[in-house]
Amino acid sequence: MARVRGDPITTALAHPTRRAAYLQLAGIDEMSTVQLQAAVGVDRYNLYHHLKKLKSLGLVENHRDAGRARWWRMAQRVALPELLEAQPNSTPSSKPIQTTAGETSAALEIDEEGRDIVVLQLEGSRDQVSAKQLIERLANEFGLEVDLSWNFIPEKLVLYSKKR
């Protein structure tokens, strides 16, 4: 099997356990190892292995309190699609949706049949890895067979809503 090479942060966050732990820490000030273990659903040894990798990249940090508990928190915020907060938009014209970082990552349009169309531009490799994983998870969830090659890199995703 060929090894995929990329920047270390992208490849680290492509792993489902690391990504889940990182996303858990993104939404809270800090979590203990026991809380994080319960949220991610892996054994403690496995969790420490992945947290060690995230810590070595400067993505998370930890400290101990007066007792034995180790507390984890996000040290560096990475722009992942799951962390971007799209603002709702109800105007029937093409208008950019702003992300938390202030960058334009998507545009909302209305087609001639009254459907919302969101075009997500995937500019960074992190976004592209996340989009590929999303496509694979959706296919799996709906029992669809999608044969994406290991080097499949989506440039954009186009989402259509139901007719209004």
56's enclosing H/E stretch is: helix 44-56
40, 57, 74 — which closes off a domain? 74
Count other C-beta atoms under 10 Å from residue 34's C-beta.
12
13 SS3 class: helix
Q: What is the pLDDT of residues 115-126, one digit of tens each?
A: 778 777 777 667
**Domain total for the chain?**
2
CATH number at residue 24: 1.10.10.10
Instruction: Tell me if 99 is assigned to some domain.
Output: yes
Residue with tokens 């459907």: 115
- 85 and 144 in a single domain? The answer is yes
The DSSP 8-state label assigned to residue 27 in this structure reads T
Residue 63: domain span: 8-74
Q: Are 75 and 63 in contact (CB under 8 A)?
A: no
**CA 144, chain centre distance (Å):** 22
Q: What is the pLDDT of residues 47-104, one digit of tens each?
A: 999 999 999 999 999 988 777 888 999 999 887 777 764 334 433 344 444 443 434 3
Residue at 56: amino acid letter: S
Instruction: Tell me if 148 is assigned to some domain.
Output: yes
Instruction: Quote the pTM value.
Output: 0.53
